Amino acid sequence: MTTNQLWGGRFKKPLDESAVRLSYSLESDKRLVFYDLDVNKAHAKALYKAKYLSRDEYKKLTECLDMLAIEFRDKPDSLYGDDEDIHTCIERLVTDRCGDLGKKLHTGKSRNDQVITDTRLYTKDSITSIREELQILIDVLVELAKRYEDVIFPGFTHFQPAQPVLFSHHMLAYVEKFFRDLDRFDAAFKSADVCALGSGALAGNNYNLDRQEMAKSLGFSAITANSMDAVSDRDFIADTLHAGSVCMTHLSRFCEELIIFSSPLVGLLEIGDDFTTGSSLMPQKKNPDVAELIRGKTGRVHGHWVALQTTLKGLPLAYNRDLQEDKVYLFDTVDNISVCLTCFHKMIAGITLNEDAIEAALKKGYGVATDFADYLVEKGVPFREAHDITGAVVLIAIEEGKQLHELSLDKLKTLHPLIDADVFHYITYQAAVSAKSIEGGTAPSSVKKQISKINRRITWKKH
């Protein structure tokens, strides 16, 4: 029976067409083609060193794999057939070109250890690319913080006006989140940087292949310690999906703010035309579609992480075909994170602040009320009492339709005798911000220190 499968000798009937549609994965795992060629080359070298291939055989297989790499780069469509997966495809092509020698290539190797090695290589490269986009984003945010370093911006809790902060401080808060994303991706990279090749289907192999040498030739830092774990482990994918899920959450939170702040009803900032769209009906609209799409794709990435965990939770050792789904989740997550990060850092670089609207917004919600209470504390009033007095001051301001600094000193003195004219120096927005000079606070001096520390953490520009 002629087949493009890597199995079939003990079967009397071919796979049903519906089962083929369910189980064949070539369309999905085509992106592993160059990794699979490299893994085959590393395996062929190990077979040669273990004396299962002659020098001429090894040379012929290597030359064939190298030629296939060129052809897959230049004219891939002519090479793919009705193969079960990318591994089957490459083995078919090698056998077609090298005859019986091609059939030796799979000696001591299973698709189980082959696919996970391919996937680990793909994951490492993908994380490297994602990290580069995150680094660009951090650079953009730091530059944005510097551009608007002294702009005072409304800070929120419960999305209610809370206390004034520097806009730069707001941007640097996200810088910290994205630095933690880098840490998570670094951990996922370390988890992926372990070579499973040589583990066979689950028990290892009988050919004494040099696993350390195979790992070194493929750029891995270590080899797996247990062959059953090697072919069943998908923790590194879960780690990558988790890192991606948290990163997308950070992007989504930021996008939510952009969507709200850019609405004409709020108008604190504007997103560039190149990252907004219009309406097919309403000619006046400028919609923050890119921010909305990133927010929307976050749920998709979250779903992949949960889906993989759900798949893994019911699997006995070692390999199970359920694991074929892992790459669907991984590939789609990588694609979405990559495009979202690229769009996001380009969009952020082009935003502009509406400082008039920001100044008007600061006057809403009595953001300096806490500083009024702090003033009383400095005068010796217990904070809880100061809190109550300030609440009464705010109530008067609401009833009179005034800001706190617009109230008369005489009226303020009726609330507490220690209130004096110097209170008005404490309840300006500039004073409120400058008072938060504690490390990590929003005072200009503290923000400058934050930027200085962040610049020391930005090591990628030094290479």
Q: What is the pLDDT of residue 350?
A: 96
Is 54 part of the annotated catalytic residue set? no
How far apart are the C-alpha atoms of 113 and 38, rounded to whole Å? 14
The active-site residue, picked from 23, 54, 129, 279, is: 279
Is residue 209 in a domain? no
Q: Average of pLDDT values for 352-379?
A: 96
- Partnered with residue 220 across adjacent β-strands are none
Torsion of CA 392, 396, 398, 402, to 10 degrees: -130
Count up the domains in the chain and report the number: 3
The active-site residue, picked from 158, 280, 452, 463, is: 158
Q: Average of pLDDT values for 411-419?
A: 95
What is the DSSP-derived secondary structure letter of residue 45? Answer: H
Q: What is the pLDDT of residue 60?
A: 98
Q: Which of 329, 360, 391 is the last residue of a domain?
A: 360
- Percentage of the chain lying above the pLDDT 70 cut: 97
Q: What is the pLDDT of residue 2?
A: 40
Q: Where are the beta strands (DSSP E) in 240-366?
A: 269-270, 352-353
Contact 412, 423 (CB under 8 A): yes
Strand 152-157 to 160-166 pairing: antiparallel
**Whether 319 and 372 share a structural domain:** no
Q: What is the pLDDT of residue 4?
A: 55
Worst-scoring range by mean pLDDT, 11-20, 186-195, 272-281, 346-355? Answer: 11-20
Amino acid at 271: I
CATH of the domain at 401: 1.10.40.30
pLDDT beyond 90 at 328? yes
Q: Average of pLDDT values for 288-301?
A: 98
Q: What is the pLDDT of residue 193?
A: 98
Q: Which two tokens mark 248?
A: 């997308």
**Whether 194 and 321 share a structural domain:** yes
CATH of the domain at 50: 1.10.275.10
**Whether 394 and 335 share a structural domain:** no
How far apart are the C-alpha atoms of 109 and 201, rounded to whole Å? 7
Is 279 part of the annotated catalytic residue set? yes
pLDDT beyond 90 at 101? yes
Q: Which of 345, 360, 375 is the last residue of a domain?
A: 360
Q: Average of pLDDT values for 7-29?
A: 78
**Whether 314 and 176 share a structural domain:** yes
Please, which residues have CB within 8 angstroms of residue 327's CB and are 6 or more apart in sequence?
25, 28, 29, 32, 119
Is residue 52 in a domain? yes
- Percentage of the chain lying above the pLDDT 90 cut: 92
Predicted confidence band at 23 (pLDDT cuts at 50, 70, 90)? confident
How deeply is 87 buried, as exposed, middle or buried, from its count of CB atoms within 10 A (0-12, 13-18, 19+)?
buried
**Whether 346 and 432 share a structural domain:** no
**Whether 355 and 402 share a structural domain:** no
| Domain assignment of residue 395, given as a range | 362-462
* Closest C-alpha among 461, 448, 459 to residue 172: 448
What is the DSSP-derived secondary structure letter of residue 30? Answer: G
pLDDT beyond 60 at 108? yes
Predicted confidence band at 22 (pLDDT cuts at 50, 70, 90)? confident
**Whether 316 and 378 share a structural domain:** no
Is residue 181 in a domain? yes
Amino acid at 441: G
CA 296 to chain centre: 15
What is the DSSP-derived secondary structure letter of residue 460? Answer: G
CATH of the domain at 288: 1.20.200.10
**Whether 77 and 127 share a structural domain:** no
Contact 46, 210 (CB under 8 A): yes
Is residue 288 in a domain? yes
Q: What is the pLDDT of residue 1?
A: 33
**Whether 320 and 180 share a structural domain:** yes
Is residue 411 in a domain? yes
* Closest C-alpha among 301, 292, 290 to residue 343: 290
Predicted confidence band at 3 (pLDDT cuts at 50, 70, 90)? very low
φ/ψ of residue 6, rounded to 5: -95, 15
**Whether 175 and 70 share a structural domain:** no
Tokens 């071919």 locate to 14
Q: Average of pLDDT values for 396-417?
A: 95
Q: What is the pLDDT of residue 25?
A: 87
Residue predicted with more confidence, 284 or 68? 68
Q: Average of pLDDT values for 304-318?
A: 97
How far apart are the C-alpha atoms of 115 and 112, rounded to whole Å? 6
In tens, the pLDDT along 221-247 reads: 999 999 999 999 999 999 999 999 999
How far apart are the C-alpha atoms of 309 and 35, rounded to whole Å? 25
CA 253 to chain centre: 13
Is residue 346 in a domain? yes
In tens, the pLDDT along 52-61 reads: 999 999 999 9
pLDDT beyond 70 at 7? no
pLDDT beyond 90 at 313? yes
What is the DSSP-derived secondary structure letter of residue 154? Answer: E
**Whether 330 and 398 share a structural domain:** no
Q: Average of pLDDT values for 192-217?
A: 97
Is residue 216 in a domain? no
Q: Which of 360, 391, 410 is the last residue of a domain?
A: 360
Give the three-class secondary structure for 223.
Answer: strand
Is residue 430 in a domain? yes
Q: Which two tokens mark 385?
A: 């009492």
- DSSP per residue over 111-143, as a string? HHHHHHHHHHHHHHHHHHHHHHHHHHHHHHHHH
Polymer length of the chain: 463
**Whether 238 and 298 share a structural domain:** yes
How far apart are the C-alpha atoms of 101 and 254, rounded to whole Å? 56
Q: What is the pLDDT of residue 8?
A: 61
Q: Average of pLDDT values for 252-264?
A: 98
User: Which strand (E) or helix (H) includes residue 194?
Assistant: strand 194-195
